[in-house]
A = this chain, B = another copy of it.
Amino acid sequence: MVSPMYTVYVGTFIQLPATSSPHEEHQLAITRGALWVSSADGKIKGFDWSIASESDLQTLLKRHGWVVDGRGSRTSVGVKLVRAREEENEFFFPGFIDTHIHAPQYPNTGLFGSSTLLSWLQTYTFPIEASFASPASMPSLPPPTAYRAYSQVISRTLSHGTTTASYFATIHVPATNLLASLAHKRGQRALIGRVCMDDPATCPPSLIDTSTATCLRDTEAVIQHIDSLSHPSSSEGAPKLIQPIITPRFAPSCRPTTLSALAALAAQHNPPLHIQTHISENVHECALVKQQFPDANSYADVYDRAGLLTPRTILAHAVHLSADETRLIAARRARVSHCPTSNSALGSGICPVRRLRRAGVVIGLGSDVSGGYSVSLLEGVRSACLVSRLVGFLRGQHHDKVEVVEAEADQDKKQTDGKRDENDDVVSVEEALYLATRGGAAVLDMAELIGGFDRGMAWDAQLIRLGAFQPAALWGPASPVSPVDVFGAESWTEKVHKWVWSGDDRNVRAVWVQGRLVHGVEVDDPRWSARWNWVWGLVGLGAAWVVVRRMR
């Protein structure tokens, strides 16, 4: 059977418009109509927001010479139709972009006790990462734990609508290559980073690069493996889904020479490779960096001296940056991954997202599993909203009890010329959704490719179903499919808010990456698949007739 040339998506599309200014208030762009994606490269080739009825749709199909049944002819082109059903409160939304997640830590999700960063690393994280080493007897085979953890984390992130993830793996080459292969097979867009860590003062003996040279060699081995992965099978002309990313764990676990060597390795590629690391997550970590790098002016300066602050660098956390560091990061156009679930869970603090954005820093969201307790970026969206309301509590609204941190506020006024009021720190639902889509795309330097539904972008999308209202039974044990109750009078904006605050993976009906269905049940247009029911009905009747005849 010939593949259809296009898939036409029909229904309500919701996205966050691209913006050049962090001072603008983000709004949802809500449109209804049709959008078509080429099967050749998985990219959006066009859309028509004037389609308001079934006859409009038929006119559109006729105008393009499209026939909906997956087959074309000399005079027509076969297309496939996928609908978001209005009566089920379905809509298409850009896939989420997770700019910071540790794949090997996934089995530890929810396990952190009451620890903070440094004790958490020792107690929970290093042991599980060390277990990803290949067994000595068969050094070339990835261990089964890596297979289970990696295939599960890819499956779970996809099921939550994460179409792109920037993964930290471990120091181990076979397991890291496995992660890349699995993401490639499942069709998730991913940056895969072999973790580099070589300072014996801070790294456990079971989890350490023995030298800068072995660190570089192993990193290059992973890059080579990723380069060898084929283009997505369904779309030869499409951009590659899997890319390598240079991943020094964080300053305290790397020797300065290694940091510089890794920066050089990234720079020698064309375009330069992506880089990811952590910065200023926790006050004790900051103190450690000060002690370990006495010559540096700041934590950010450690990275800058090594050449690691580039426009393709993702810095996770950025909770405790000074004004100077913020300016430095903005000047280098390095990006920040905001990980609110993690920062709350490990008690690290609150990243002042609005302040950083006003200072010109590009920000996206990260789940930071398993410092973060959920792979869901919808949970990240919620969390980004919630903690930002507590920044306000810290800074102004609580003025009659908590002293405003005057020094900070002053620095801030100098940095920005916009007005400041007590809502200045509040991240709205719309802004948080922007961070999870367009913001994340910008953080990964992929703003042209993903994060929205612009023409030419890849179809990285999720079909969200809130469901029709299912009234509770008076007696029965009601178990609605959707965790969201839409009572019927809600606007689309209100429905999106309800999704954000009450929704979960049950609402993710389907997920596509670059046009390929990677999660959920793809729904053919029911009218078209029903077309052949009468044939099966006739076959059934005939069979019954034969049986009865024979019995007589």
User: Interface on A for B, CB 8 Å cutoff?
Assistant: 106-107, 109-111, 113-114, 116, 148-149, 151-152, 154-156, 159, 182, 185-186, 283, 286-287, 320, 344-350, 373-374, 382, 385-387, 389-390, 392-394, 397-403, 405, 408, 423, 426, 428-429, 471-475, 477-479, 483-485, 487, 490, 494, 497-502, 504-506, 517-521, 551-552
Contacts and interface: CB of A to CB of B under 8 A. Distances in A.
Given A106-B485, A155-B473, A394-B402, 10 more contacts: A113-B428, A113-B497, A152-B485, A156-B485, A159-B479, A283-B399, A344-B390, A349-B390, A373-B501, A483-B505
7 contacts: A283-B398, A283-B400, A349-B398, A350-B390, A394-B402, A477-B519, A506-B506
A56 B382 CA distance: 48
Contacts of A107: 485, 487
B350 A502 contact: no
B373 A110 contact: no
A50 to B, nearest CB: 30
A110 B392 contact: no
A288 to B, nearest CB: 12
A485 B109 contact: yes
Contact of A472 (B155, B403, B494, B505): B155
A520 B477 contact: yes
Nearest to A109: B502
A390 B348 CA distance: 8
A156 B494 CA distance: 20
Closest 7 pairs (CB-CB, A-B): A155-B472, A110-B501, A347-B389, A373-B501, A110-B498, A344-B386, A349-B393
A428 B114 contact: yes
A506 B520 CA distance: 18
Nearest to A496: B110
Contacts of A487: 107, 148-149
A14 B72 CA distance: 62
A519 B505 CA distance: 22
A498 B286 CA distance: 29
A373 B455 CA distance: 36
A280 to B, nearest CB: 10
A387 B390 contact: yes
Contacts of A471: 148, 151-152
A151 B393 contact: no
Nearest to A147: B471
